[in-house]
């Protein structure tokens, strides 16, 4: 999850009958061996730990070690999560003490029976235009992949980069991603690596990639079959983030938006920009069918290429009214489960998910209503 989400994109509607034909065609064309297989059996339902190694209050080893208690990690496993996606700012682990703290954290998480995805979330990098930033990403994985070698490769998954931008340049991102994957493979030959598309890791960015495990191409150079492709899902952002990409709207009014949309929405905002945005959102008629239409694009793309998917982030702000929020989260979760797509809520310690206080400390409670929407249960 970036601090400023990408601009909302309008999408054409697709009739239900056409969607069903697309899904059936994709499924019937699959070789039996790849229909529902997942290369990582422990990767199904996850949650992002967003601030342990990303924007930590202190980078002191003692502060990093004490960010979250073992009981809190155990509660995640007992609730039904089987993996954690750990957001890591490369600057936090640049020093040996930071890397030592990260390895200790990974071991603690794995000790509770949870698989760990390690996802770099750099701040201030401009990979599209800066050769030094691209080199910094290579250097990060050269160093960290060597440090990860002693860990169980089945339960330690490197993710090349969180939400690459590369606007209008999917081939440029594919080349850099391939170079980084090659570096990771030198130290972690057996680990499943998580890849993604550009355009903030969106479904649109995913669709711009053309993965192949047979014949590498300039714009799709992956001959590596031990990978999973990730996308992030926050659509429509007018609802899930209360249009965080806008600075001229009344978020208190947007917090009353309904989901699903049934007919016209009441428009009571005093701000004209907010009224226009509410009318725009409601005119699109967002409901579970619209969510499925969008996620089905990733579903069909993955099966067309014989690859596996992870929804590495999804969530909705706790400032949204609870009915719309829980309905949206539950609808997305059901679609992902039905499509056998692993998922990770953003996040444990973030307002888009459980909104646990930072640092979480020993054992903070988990919202039972949110657990219910995720088809999980309150740990005893």
Q: Is residue 27 part of a domain?
A: no
Q: What is the pLDDT of residue 6?
A: 43
Residue 96 CB partners (closer than 8 Å, separation 6+): none
Distance CA 96, CA 316 (A): 36
Q: Which of 202, 235, 232, 223 is nearest to 307 (CA)?
A: 223
At 142, which helix (H) or strand (E)? Answer: helix 131-148
Q: Cα separation of 203 and 299, whole Å? A: 10
How far apart CA 167 and CA 40 sit, in angstroms, is: 31
Whichever domain contains 191, its CATH number is 3.20.20.80
Return the pLDDT at 42.
Answer: 63
Domain count, the chain: 1
Looking at residue 4, what is its pLDDT? 44
171 lies in a domain? Answer: yes
Residue 22 covered by a domain: no
* pLDDT value for 218: 42
Instruction: Spell out, as residue ranges, where the chain has pLDDT lower than 70.
Output: 1-42, 212-222
34 domain residue, yes or no: no
The boundaries of the domain holding residue 68 are 42-236+286-373
Residue 34 phi, psi dihedral angles, 5° rounding: -110, 5
Looking at residue 32, the DSSP 8-state letter turns out to be G
- Helix, strand, coil percent values for the chain (each to nearest 5): 40, 15, 45
DSSP element (H, E) containing 200: helix 198-201
Phi, psi of 290 (to 5 degrees): -65, -40
Please state the φ and ψ torsions of residue 232, each to the nearest 5 degrees. -110, 145
Within a domain: residue 248? no
Is 164 inside a domain boundary?
A: yes
Q: What is the pLDDT of residue 367?
A: 97
| DSSP annotation string for 304-369 | HHT--EEEEEE---TTS-HHHHHHHHHHHHHHHHHTT-EEEES-TTSTTTT-PPSS-BS-----HH
Angle between helices 70-79 and 96-111 (to 10 degrees): 50
On whether residue 182 sits in a domain, the answer given is yes
Q: Which residue is it, tokens 């400023």?
A: 4
Question: How far apart, in whole angstroms, are the C-alpha atoms of residue 320 and residue 240?
Answer: 7
* Whether the bond into 327 is cis, omega within 30 of 0: no
| Phi and psi torsions of 230, nearest 5° | -105, 150
φ/ψ of residue 345, rounded to 5 = -70, 135
Tokens 């990730």, located at residue: 230
User: Would you state the structure tokens that stand for residue 156, as one six-digit string?
Assistant: 């330690």
pLDDT at 112: 97
pLDDT value at residue 13: 38
Is 244 part of any domain?
A: no
Q: Rounded distance, CA 199 to CA 165, Å?
A: 5
User: How does DSSP classify residue 260?
Assistant: S
């Amino acid at each position: 999850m970036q601090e400023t989400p990408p601009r909302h994109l309008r999408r054409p509607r697709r009739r239900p009958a056409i969607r069903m034909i697309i899904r059936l065609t994709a499924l019937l064309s699959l070789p039996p061996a790849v229909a529902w297989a997942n290369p990582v059996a422990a990767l199904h339902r996850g949650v992002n730990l967003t601030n342990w190694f990303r924007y930590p209050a202190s980078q002191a080893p003692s502060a990093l070690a004490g960010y979250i208690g073992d009981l809190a990690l155990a509660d995640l496993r007992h609730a039904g999560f089987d993996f954690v996606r750990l957001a890591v700012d490369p600057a936090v682990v640049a020093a040996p003490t930071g890397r030592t703290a990260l390895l200790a954290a990974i071991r603690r998480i794995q000790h509770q029976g949870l698989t760990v995805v390690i996802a770099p979330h750099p701040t201030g990098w401009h990979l599209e235009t800066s050769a030094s930033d691209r080199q910094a990403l290579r250097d990060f994985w050269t160093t960290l992949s060597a440090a990860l070698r002693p860990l169980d490769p089945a339960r330690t998954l490197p993710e090349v980069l969180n939400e690459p931008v590369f606007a209008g340049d999917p081939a440029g991102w594919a080349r850099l991603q391939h170079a980084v994957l090659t570096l990771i493979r030198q130290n972690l030959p057996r680990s499943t690596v998580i890849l993604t598309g550009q355009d903030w890791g969106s479904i649109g960015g995913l669709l711009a990639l053309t993965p192949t495990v047979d014949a590498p191409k300039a714009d799709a150079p992956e001959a590596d079959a031990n990978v999973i492709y990730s996308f992030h899902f926050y659509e429509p952002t007018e609802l899930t983030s209360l249009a965080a990409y806008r600075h001229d709207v009344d978020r208190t009014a947007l917090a009353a938006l309904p989901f699903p949309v049934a007919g016209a929405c009441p428009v009571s905002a005093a701000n004209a920009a907010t009224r226009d945005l509410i009318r725009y959102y409601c005119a699109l008629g967002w409901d579970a069918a619209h969510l499925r239409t969008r996620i089905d694009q990733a579903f069909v793309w993955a099966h067309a290429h014989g690859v596996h998917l992870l929804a590495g982030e999804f969530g909705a702000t706790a400032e949204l009214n609870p009915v719309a929020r829980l309905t949206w989260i539950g609808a997305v979760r059901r679609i992902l489960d039905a499509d056998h797509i692993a998922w990770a809520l953003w996040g444990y310690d973030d307002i888009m998910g459980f909104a646990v206080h930072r640092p979480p400390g020993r054992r903070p409670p988990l919202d039972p209503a949110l657990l219910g929407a995720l088809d999980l249960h309150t740990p005893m």
